[in-house]
Structure 1
Amino acid sequence: MNPVTTNDITFRKLAIFMTFMEKGNIARTAEALELSGVSVHRALHTLEENVRCPLFIHKGRNLVALPAAWTLLEYCQEVTQLMARGLEEARKTAGVGQGRLRVGTLYSLTLETVPRLIMGMKLRRPDLELDLTMGSNDTLLHMLEDGTLDAIIISISESDIDRNNMEVLPLFHDDIFLAAPASASLNTDSLADLRDYRDQKFVSLAEGFATYAGFQEAFHIAGFEPEIVTRVNDIFSMLSLVQAGVGFTLMPGRMKKVYESSVQLLKLSQPYQMQQLIAIVFSRNREQDPNLRALAAEGRMYARSLEENA
């Protein structure tokens, strides 16, 4: 059959038709589907027009199915069952709604944020398996866009995210601090002006990490290029080098609990003060995925708890 002749036969009409054939009258069909009787009657009438043969006759105020309607019903049941299997297989192929959720995160968020979210998720969906991937902002964004991750928890800026295609759930804002070796002589009575550290050596994260972008921006404002001894690919290695006295760095506040006793932390003076926005990001066309909805709900609870404790 030419598809043009059937383009007005929708699954909604077929669902109404099958319910009518089960219930036997328009009133009970409307009640079952939470529709008006007028909507049910219109759907059946236009379906009959689209099929291009009589399906019903009127007997008094009742609509009675003809043999052609019973024949159509058999094929409707086959079609809807086949489509249900097709949708399920498509979701399996896409990794949607299965018992596994692939989440990407920054290394620094594994200290508190990610464990809290995982524990909450296990309470919501005990059978769900979470695969955790750690990497830089850029790497995780590319993996999300490629479909190899279902959601990512990263630091974002407006330029990072296509808000038309991505859903963004903010979790918290994080301040950036100057981190120095414990042996360094610092003036802790005032805020840190980066220009006073022009002669110091620094360690840094590699390009693509959120903290690296803030590092570059801060020294651009300070008006000089810092001497970077080495660049590393995770924040724990970077702070271990600071602990060892290799150099200074800039560090997000979420690392303070672990390193405040072994690394000196100074709040930056006003021109260099900046914040990272930490958020859960996932594709907007996946927003009905029950696993992602559970992650988003847990994220909102986590964000609310941080606000209450602030």
Structure 2
Amino acid sequence: MPAFDDEAITLRQLQVLLAFMETGNLARAAERLQTSAVSVHRALHALEEALRCVLFRQEGRNLVPTAAAQRLAEMARDMDRLLADGVRATREIAGYAADRIRMGSMYSLTSRAVPALVLGMKQRKPAVQTELVLGSNADLLARLREGTLDAALMAVPRGAADVESEPLFEDETFFAAPAQSPHAQRTEVDLGACADERFVSLAEGFATHDSFTEAFRIAGFAPQIAMQTGDIYSLMNLVDGGVGCTLLPGRMRHVLPANVRLVPLQARFRVRQTIALNFLRSRERDPNLLALLAVSRTLKASLR
């Protein structure tokens, strides 16, 4: 049989003991703990009963700690410090209120949105370092759910009830062709008349691939794919080199190769993406995420 009732000893009782030992009386301990002197006295008495030894002796109206209480307070102080260190380390590993924030982004947002958000975070929270991870929409969503990213700049994921999204801007999909292509001279492109055209595309998992697929679903045919690639800059270079045409979001107009033209699609083929700052709903009170949200709302108008 144990010499004490370990199940009856609580962290709260040890915190009450520390408060009493550090303040010297019941009233001041109660004030520190925001409770009553009666509750403090009851917690100390319960601690004695659980330990089955005397921790205090009564001298008039005062409780005087014994050597046993002094020793227990030393151990409780060590436990309190160890617990605080453990909580801090755990929250840092999880990314909560750490000195860094892990932000993911689609490749297509690195020319404007990412630098603006990183600079905004540096001004708002100078001590917080921003780490950047690039990937497809599918990769970034998986990383958010794994906890290896705190937030992700990407298209709003469909059917993701566990994800909170702060919209930044909407983007339209355009037809991208080499300057010498007949399509480049048009005011708008009839995608339905492009069945004989060669195309290049992003691989599955990218938001731009989803828009590409949706547009051709509306057009009613499967495009001839000459080549697939894993990032949007390589995709634009393939168009620049004449390998094929493609569909690109309008945000890429600022970084297009010199030989690539963006032409609007006819209205019935137009597909839009909503670009947002995305994070798990379970992390919505993280101070670093709240700061990043504030920055994104401030910059929203300039990112369109």
TM-score of the superposed pair, with normalisation by structure 2: 0.79
Q: 1:27 to 1:238 in 2, by over 3 A?
A: same
Task: Provide the rounded CA distance (Å) in 2 between the counterparts of 1:265 and 1:85.
Answer: 57
SS in structure 2 at match of 1:183: coil
Task: Provide the rounded CA distance (Å) in 1 between the counterparts of 2:251 and 2:138.
Answer: 20
SS in structure 2 at match of 1:263: strand
Q: How does 1:43-122 map to 2 (within 5 A)?
A: 43-44=43-44, 46-53=46-53, 55-56=55-56, 62=61, 64-67=63-66, 68-90=68-90, 99-122=99-122
Task: Provide the rounded CA distance (Å) in 1 between the counterparts of 2:246 and 2:112.
Answer: 22
Task: Provide the rounded CA distance (Å) in 2 between the counterparts of 1:106 and 1:299.
Answer: 18
The residue number in structure 1 matching 2:229 is: 232
Task: Provide the rounded CA distance (Å) in 2 between the counterparts of 1:6 and 1:87.
Answer: 22
Indicate whether 1:218 and 2:212 are aligned. no
Q: 1:107 to 1:23 in 2, by over 3 A?
A: same
Q: 1:157 to 1:149 in 2, by over 3 A?
A: closer
CA shift, 1:236, in A, is 1.0
What amino acid sits opposite 2:131 in the alignment?
D
Indicate whether 1:200 and 2:197 are aligned. yes
The residue number in structure 2 matching 1:27 is: 27
The residue number in structure 2 matching 1:185 is: 182
CA shift, 1:128, in A, is 3.9
SS in structure 2 at match of 1:276: strand
CA shift, 1:152, in A, is 3.0
The residue number in structure 2 matching 1:302 is: 296
The residue number in structure 2 matching 1:281 is: 279
Q: 1:32 to 1:308 in 2, by over 3 A?
A: farther
Task: Provide the rounded CA distance (Å) in 2 between the counterparts of 1:125 and 1:277.
Answer: 24
Task: Provide the rounded CA distance (Å) in 1 between the counterparts of 2:204 and 2:233.
Answer: 16
CA shift, 1:251, in A, is 1.6
Say whether the 8 Å CA contact 2:156–2:165 is kept in structure 1.
no
SS in structure 1 at match of 2:9: coil
Q: Give % identity.
A: 40
Task: Provide the rounded CA distance (Å) in 2 between the counterparts of 1:173 and 1:53.
Answer: 69
Unaligned runs of at least 5 residues, structure 1 = none
Deviation string 1:231-277 (CA, Å, 9 cap, x unpaired) is 11111111222233332222222212233974123155146433233
SS in structure 1 at match of 2:201: strand
Number of residue pairs aligned between Structure 1 and Structure 2: 300
Say whether the 8 Å CA contact 2:277–2:296 is kept in structure 1.
no
Q: 1:168 to 1:309 in 2, by over 3 A?
A: closer
Unaligned runs of at least 5 residues, structure 2 = none
What amino acid sits opposite 1:124 in the alignment?
R
Deviation string 1:282-302 (CA, Å, 9 cap, x unpaired) is 5836954xxxx3344233322
Query: Which 4+ residue blocks in structure 1 deviate beyond 6 angstroms?
Result: 57-60
Q: 1:130 to 1:302 in 2, by over 3 A?
A: closer
TM-score of the superposed pair, with normalisation by structure 1: 0.78
The residue number in structure 2 matching 1:135 is: 135
Task: Provide the rounded CA distance (Å) in 2 between the counterparts of 1:47 and 1:185.
Answer: 86
CA shift, 1:32, in A, is 2.6
SS in structure 1 at match of 2:196: coil
The residue number in structure 2 matching 1:176 is: 173
SS in structure 1 at match of 2:126: coil
Q: 1:303 to 1:241 in 2, by over 3 A?
A: farther
